[in-house]
Structure 1
Amino acid sequence: MESSQIEAARGGDELAFAALVEPFRRELHLHCYRISGSVDDADDLLQEVLVAAWKGLPQFAGRSSLRTWLYRIATTRSLSRLRDQARRPRPAPAPPFEPPTPSDRFDVPHLQPYPDARLDELDPAMRVVARESIELAFVVALQALPPRQAAALVLCDVLDFSTGEAADMLAASPTAVKGLLQRARSAMPAPRARDGSDAHDELARVFADAFERDDVDSLIGLLTDQTWLAMPPASERYEGRSAIEAFLRASAAGRPGGHYTLTATSAASRPAFVCYLDGRARGLLVIEPAPDGTRVVSIMRFLDDNLHRHFGMPDTLP
């Protein structure tokens, strides 16, 4: 069936081409996201991949599967996008108050969390792997790797391609890919164990309630000594209770428009909230619970006023 669709698509049949690539659209989007770290970029990259596949189909010789060929295009396009991002950093919005001195820098300005709802379109077996490989800690660690190392790790350890297949996609030798994998694996953090979701849900509810009331004392009580706060695309990172408390108090005191309203969603396999201020969407907040679900170990406040649209949330609240 696939061979007849390929021939029809080569002849200009757009419906045949759409039928060919449809089974791979969501997983290709995820692949572009893991390497780029951005849902916006993944949306653009997927369209680039499909256009390149449409134009290149007459040269597809069938020496690999169609899926492998599409992944080769997606990998090449994603690596090119990373090189472009190095030249065009995403600007950070100016805060409406004077923030305290940060503890450190957060240097992944293009980072965006992946909407969990999009994983529902995947095969159930693939969904399990996808949830682990879109967690923010994993994606942030990927962004810190040299791009070809990150691509080799995703292709072999996440998608289970062989080193030979990955070598073909990266235009490298299998020996070179093994070297890329060895260096990438040594740099990646160990997976974090997680407890049941009931504790996470309760923690998220208590956190959201305190955040909406600007109850800084209660928020600080939910943190550990090592909890950190980052706000992509801003570069500031605040580490520990004291630093985060100083930032939250400055934000509450200097913010125009009153209190936030948080609308729950799920992103990067973590509890998340679309933030509304004066009824208008003002970015997204993602928390990472500790393994036992009793404390928050990281807070990611994404300062992108369009990010909520990836989660199917309205621009304004009634």
Structure 2
Amino acid sequence: MSEVFSARTAGPAAEGAQDPDLARARDGDDAAFTRLVQPLRRELHAHCYRMLGSTHDADDALQDALLRAWRGLARFEGRSSLRSWLYTVATRTCLDTIETRGRRALPVDLGPSSDRAVVGDVPLVEVAWLGPYPDAGLGDGPAGPGARYEQREAVELAFVAALQHLPGNQRAALLLFEVLGFSAAEIATMMSTSTMSVNSALARARKVVAEKIPSVTQQQTLRRIDDARVREIVAGYSAALERGDADALVALLTEDVTWSMPPLGHWYHGLRAVTDFAVQIPLTRCGNWRHLPTSANGQPGVGCYLWNDGAGAHLGWSINVLTLRGERIAEITSFVGADHFASFGLPASLP
């Protein structure tokens, strides 16, 4: 993909084209290259997550993309901004990754919900699961004036899950246009295709995404709720689990609430089924819980810790992402796995 590095994208010349760090980096100064890309790392990482649906994949893709950029920097001609060029490299890297594996899924993508608690549910290791995104520090980002989605809206679970139903080229076109504000002509050059093809991909992608995401985003919902009230909901959810209080938990949920736990395949829909699951599994069989509040995918989240006799401590068990409707919880997505905690800056265990 040597065409990635020719940087013949449309648009204004880079403001940093005369940056002395750029000249030093072209001469092989890796410290200068690090200084150039550091301000863009966070937004590039978020872009890779949106493309791939996994923080771990995003880590690998960003590392690979920056290595490609470093190796090809001498051929960067400055006909576009450095940011545009790096997005080209990152997008191509993600498309290569998408070609090698299937889309990432949530349990709701695999089959119907369960009416009763499934005891002894086991992880489905053959499925590539969607993962949570630690959004601490994620800002608005320098999107163009045509961008439709806010940066935080564009990491919400419903949006990222919907993206996974798109082919790679449609996914890339939608993100570059609707989230990052690149023009169709710019995207065509970045993806080595025609403007007509980009517009066609955008039309198909918009249709699929519109059918799969709610009309009201989590950012809109959260803006309507006082921050203190959101903290109360999260604290109430955590306290109910720690006390084993089913009534307190149910009082926080909508009638059509869903609860899923990737990589476990079974999921639950509706207050009756979710209550049965909660009573049978986390409130009774699991044991003693502790929790820490966090933020994931632009939504309120909870780090859940389960007591382990062997360790003599509460060990990280899952990152629970809460989707709110009004002041109630409409979806609980419990991403099970201790490996999620480090990326959220959460401790591996609690006393």
TM-score, normalised relative to structure 1: 0.86
Q: Do 2:43 and 2:138's aligned partners in 1 also have CA atoms closer than 8 Å?
A: no
Report deviation, 1:121: 10
Q: Using the alignment, how far apart are the partners of 1:124 and 1:205 within structure 2?
A: 34
Report deviation, 1:236: 2.3
Q: Using the alignment, how far apart are the partners of 2:67 and 2:234 within structure 1?
A: 41
1:62 aligns with 2:78: yes
Q: 1:231 aligns with which of 239, 254, 261?
A: 261
Report deviation, 1:123: 7.0
| Paired AA for residue 9 in structure 1 | A
Q: Do 1:287 and 1:300's aligned partners in 2 also have CA atoms closer than 8 Å?
A: yes
State the match for 1:93 in structure 2.
none
State the match for 1:220 in structure 2.
250
Structure 2 residue ranges without an equivalent (≥5)? 1-15, 107-116, 308-313
1:289 aligns with 2:324: yes
1:166 aligns with 2:182: no
Q: Using the alignment, how far apart are the partners of 2:268 and 2:171 within structure 1?
A: 27
Q: 1:25 aligns with which of 37, 41, 45?
A: 41
Q: How many residues align?
A: 304
State the match for 1:272 in structure 2.
301
Report deviation, 1:73: 0.8
Q: Using the alignment, how far apart are the partners of 2:191 and 2:139 within structure 1?
A: 29
Taking only aligned residues, the RMSD between alpha carbons, in angstroms, comes to 2.9
Q: Do 2:234 and 2:302's aligned partners in 1 also have CA atoms closer than 8 Å?
A: no
Distance 1:2 1:61, change over 3 A: closer
Q: Using the alignment, how far apart are the partners of 1:174 and 1:210 within structure 2?
A: 53
Alignment of 1:1-318 (within 5 A): 2-3=17-18, 4-86=20-102, 99=118, 109-119=128-138, 129-188=150-209, 189=213, 190-192=215-217, 193-194=220-221, 195-196=224-225, 197-252=227-282, 255-256=285-286, 258-278=287-307, 279-290=314-325, 292-293=326-327, 295-318=328-351
Report deviation, 1:124: 11
TM-score, normalised relative to structure 2: 0.79
Report deviation, 1:228: 0.9
Structure 1 residue ranges without an equivalent (≥5)? 91-97
SS in 1 for 2:263: coil
Q: Do 2:118 and 2:266's aligned partners in 1 also have CA atoms closer than 8 Å?
A: no
Distance 1:176 1:227, change over 3 A: same
SS in 2 for 1:130: coil
Report deviation, 1:122: 5.8
Q: Using the alignment, how far apart are the partners of 1:216 and 1:145 within structure 2?
A: 39
Q: Do 2:52 and 2:104's aligned partners in 1 also have CA atoms closer than 8 Å?
A: no
